[in-house]
């Protein structure tokens, strides 16, 4: 099942983003699967990303290219295996929300920063560079499997809230994600590593 721009727009609308989402999608190649490459410094501006736009693009916000790499890797880990077009979908959704809701995006960036620091300490490698099995193991060992989503909680709880649940909500609030689990308007978030691959159930 291929995620599209329409899916990203629907997911952005579900979190109250309209204009910012349109800007994000206009700066993203349609279904190309390309995202910005790693190497941008956090908070830097003026660099060029995959969209061909300068780093001062209104869709950049506090999210760096390295953050996008990690978020895409998490999505590839927790999304059902039959979902395609993950990279472009995550890029459009994250950038659109970052542009419209920078305070929330700052929380995402902080949680992703912890995820990357933890992975580097335990695996001596970036999360996005881990193989699929190690990515899932890393989330499990970090405690994300059992953590309650809490934006003001422990590191694992914030990763669950700002990273895992953020990405799952985006997927299951999209038309393709809703079709995948047989629901039009999904509510809530799944819990547990196995349920990462199932839609919300009430």
Domain boundaries, the chain: 5-28+59-197
Report the C-alpha gap between 111 and 196 in whole angstroms: 18
pTM, full prediction? 0.74
pLDDT in tens, 80-120: 988 999 999 999 999 999 988 999 999 999 999 999 999 99
* pLDDT tier, 199 (very low <50, low <70, confident <90, very high otherwise): very low
pLDDT in tens, 43-79: 333 333 333 333 334 445 689 999 999 999 999 999 9
Q: Among all chains, which residue has been given the structure tokens 């995006």?
A: 105
- Residue 71: helix, strand or coil by DSSP? helix
Q: Please count the other Cβ atoms lying within 10 Å of the Cβ belonging to residue 52.
A: 9
Number of H helices, E strands in the chain: 9, 0
- Residue 62: helix, strand or coil by DSSP? coil
Report the C-alpha gap between 160 and 165 in whole angstroms: 6
């Amino acid at each position: 099942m291929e995620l599209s721009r329409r899916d990203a727009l629907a997911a952005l609308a579900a979190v109250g983003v309209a204009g910012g989402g349109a800007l994000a999608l206009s700066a993203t190649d349609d279904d190309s699967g390309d995202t910005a490459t790693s190497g941008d410094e956090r908070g830097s501006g003026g660099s060029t990303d995959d969209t061909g736009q300068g780093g001062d693009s209104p869709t950049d916000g506090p999210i760096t290219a390295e953050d996008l790499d990690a978020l895409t890797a998490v999505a590839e880990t927790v999304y059902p295996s039959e979902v395609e077009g993950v990279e472009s979908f995550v890029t459009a959704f994250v950038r659109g929300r970052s542009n419209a809701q920078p305070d929330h995006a700052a929380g995402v960036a902080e949680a992703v920063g912890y995820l990357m620091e933890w992975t580097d300490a335990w695996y001596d490698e970036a999360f996005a560079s881990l193989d699929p099995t190690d990515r899932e193991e890393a989330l499990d060992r970090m405690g994300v499997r059992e953590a309650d989503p809490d934006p003001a909680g422990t590191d694992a709880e914030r990763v669950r809230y700002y990273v895992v649940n953020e990405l799952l909500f985006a997927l299951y609030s999209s038309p393709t994600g809703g079709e995948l689990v047989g629901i039009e308007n999904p509510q809530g978030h799944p819990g547990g590593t196995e349920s990462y691959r199932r839609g919300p159930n009430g």
